[in-house]
Amino acid sequence: MEDYEVMFESIDLGEDNAYNIIKKSDEIKIKKILYKSIHNPNLFPSYSTFNLRGKRYSIANVSGELIKKVEKQKKVKDLQKAYEKKVLKKGEKNTTIAPLSEIKKTNPSLLTVKIKKKKYKDKIPDINDIPLMNITADVDYVYDNAVEVINAKPVEKKKKVGKVLLDEDPLLKEDYGKISPYLIKMKEELKEKQNLKKQDIIDEEKIAKELETKKQDLLIHLKNKFDEINKEYMKISHVVDVNSVVKLKKKENYEKQLNQLEKDIQKLEKSDF
């Protein structure tokens, strides 16, 4: 037997050799180390345009810190228990009502009326009942009315002036021919209002005069300044050979000042305070 094994081993069959296949399967295979990322796989992509809430934002997860909610899968037993709790059987909560024949035998007290309704109407009288008749009072209403009229005071009649009834003669009143205090008060209020209006007009005129004087003073001041700068500018303007930088800057500065002063003077002359 050993000779056959040696003979088979000596034969070079390559990949078809069964012994080589067995040897390869017996060899311990070393597993490669799997790559594990540092980053959390449940993180949402930053600056994403998906899963936006509302129309206000066009980008989601700017900070890059949002994490997906990973729900653990429930076991089959837990799901079965939850399903059994939810499902109700037929007639589980309903109670059956016994028929009348059984109630009469077992509990007849349920069929009796415990509280009776009140009767709001009176009983109908019998045929033999006699009604009450000829009931009179001892009061003499005619005599009582006569006494009240005799003891009452006479009512004073009002005087008629055309169609109007007057209690008193208007000529005999204390206020006749006098101006009412209401009208006097109204006149005083009107006078006060007129005086206030006049005072306001006077104040406005004073303010306008003051503003006008200030305006004229400003104009004079600006014109004087313009003349001073213009004199200095005229001294440099006739110079043809301007090689120095200082002279050039001075000339430009004078020109700017003169232009600005001209604009200010024009504004003041046009403006109305």
pLDDT digits (tens, 9 = 90+) for 110-138: 888 777 777 777 788 888 888 777 777 77
Q: What count of Cα atoms within 13 Å lies in the side-chain half-sphere of residue 224?
A: 6
Instruction: For residues 179-191, give the mean pLDDT.
Output: 90
Q: Which of 151-155, 162-166, 205-209 has the lowest mean pLDDT?
A: 162-166
Q: Please tell me the distance from the alpha carbon of residue 105 to that of residue 19, in angstroms, as a whole number.
A: 94
pLDDT value for 16: 59
Confidence check: pLDDT of 220 > 60: yes
**pTM listed for this prediction:** 0.31
Q: Please tell me the distance from the alpha carbon of residue 43 to that of residue 102, in angstroms, as a whole number.
A: 70
Q: Where in the chain does DSSP place strands (E)? A: 159-161, 164-166
Q: Please tell me the distance from the alpha carbon of residue 197 to that of residue 199, in angstroms, as a whole number.
A: 5
pLDDT value for 193: 93
pLDDT value for 9: 63
Instruction: For residues 145-156, give the mean pLDDT.
Output: 85
Q: Is 66 exposed, middle or buried (0-12, 13-18, 19+ CB in 10 A)?
A: middle
Residue 206 tokens, joined: 């004073």
What is the phi/psi pair of residue 272, to 5°?
Answer: -120, 120
pLDDT value for 167: 59
Mean pLDDT rounded to a whole number for the chain:
77
The pLDDT-based confidence of 20 (bands split at 50, 70, 90) is: low
- Highest mean pLDDT out of 74-88, 114-128, 194-208: 194-208
Q: To the nearest 5 percent, what fractions of the chain are helix, strand and coil? A: 50, 5, 45
Q: Please tell me the distance from the alpha carbon of residue 251 to that of residue 234, in angstroms, as a whole number.
A: 10
pLDDT value for 93: 75
Confidence check: pLDDT of 108 > 70: yes
What is the phi/psi pair of residue 89, to 5°?
Answer: -85, 165
CB 81 within 8 A of CB 58: no
